[in-house]
Every structure is written in structure tokens, then in C-alpha cells.
Structure 1
């Protein structure tokens, strides 16, 4: 699955600045999101994905990996869906 929307855990980290890779507002992000939580949210919403061992270039030492997601909507919609799931504890919306 080479094509698809790529998501990195740093997109949802409220501890980071936008220039450091955060893609959500401080209010909708969470501190130090875990890749397992993102995986549970995608599974709960029945969104097909592949988890890869590739890391965000700015955080190569964290080894959190990334998700390649087959999502029919926009990347912004997917980020908002995952972010809201992280805020509610990974429950399906």
C-alpha cells in the first residue's frame, strides 16, 4: 500500500509546536499520543490502514512509525477524526 494518507503520531501531539509537526490545535491534540491508540481508533472506525516502521523525518529517533491509511475523504478530515478519537479515549464517535 504505497499510496494513501500518511499519518504520524506527532501530528496529534499537543506538546509540539506547529513548526515541529503538529497538525491539530492545542485543544484537540493530546500529550504524547501513542501509536497503539491511533491504531485502535482506525480499527474502531473500520478504516483500512497499514502500519509502517518508517518515522517522521524530524523525529527519526522515536521509532513510532507511521500509518498509511486508505481514506476516501481529505487528510484534514481523517486527522480531525483521529484527533477527536484520541480526546475521547479511542472510542468510536
Structure 2
């Protein structure tokens, strides 16, 4: 049964190195290069989205890459969440 209060975030959704047809969901200018599960999880925690990580899952169209996924609370549209996560990841990378 599908849970309408949670949504799945795959790293490929935020990856500027992937094409839209390969799974990227936001514009390339707003995406980040090779987002890590840890970065996405930290950004989701900052947004209070209650993230839970599933490390050993694989994005269906690239099943050979063990990318993992994050399940978060649905508090806004998926695109809004992805853009906010991407912006937080970019911000945390600049601090380093």
C-alpha cells in the first residue's frame, strides 16, 4: 500500500551529471554534481523532513549502481523539496 505522507528521493534526481531522461528531475543549473546520500540526508534534516535512508536500494533504470535512496515526509511538492535540498547541498559544499 502506498504511503501518501512520505516520498522517495533518489540521488539521481539532484545529479547535474545526469540527463532528464536518465532521471534528473530539476533544471541542470539548480542541480549538484554527484550528490551523496549523507549530503541529502543532512539537508533533509535541516528542512525537518524526517529522512530515513535505505542504503542498499538501486534506482530502477540504473540498477547496477547501488545509489541508495531517502524516504522523507511530504510537506511540499517534490520539485520544491528537490530544489531546496539541492540549494542546501550547494551551500554546505561552499563552506568546505
TM over 0.5: yes
TM-score, structure 1 normalization: 0.85
Provide runs of 4+ in structure 1 moved above 3 Å.
none
* Alpha carbons 1:10, 1:22 under 8 Å: kept: yes
Q: CA RMSD in A?
A: 1.8
How far, CA to CA, are the matches of 2:49 and 2:93 in structure 1? 14
Aligned match for 1:81, one of 81, 84, 94: 84
TM-score, structure 2 normalization: 0.83
5+ residue gaps, structure 2, are none
How far, CA to CA, are the matches of 2:77 and 2:48 in structure 1? 16
**Where in structure 2 are the equivalents of 1:14-93 lying within 5 Å?**
14-52=16-54, 53-89=56-92
Q: Which structure: greater helix fraction? A: 2
* Alpha carbons 1:51, 1:68 under 8 Å: kept: yes
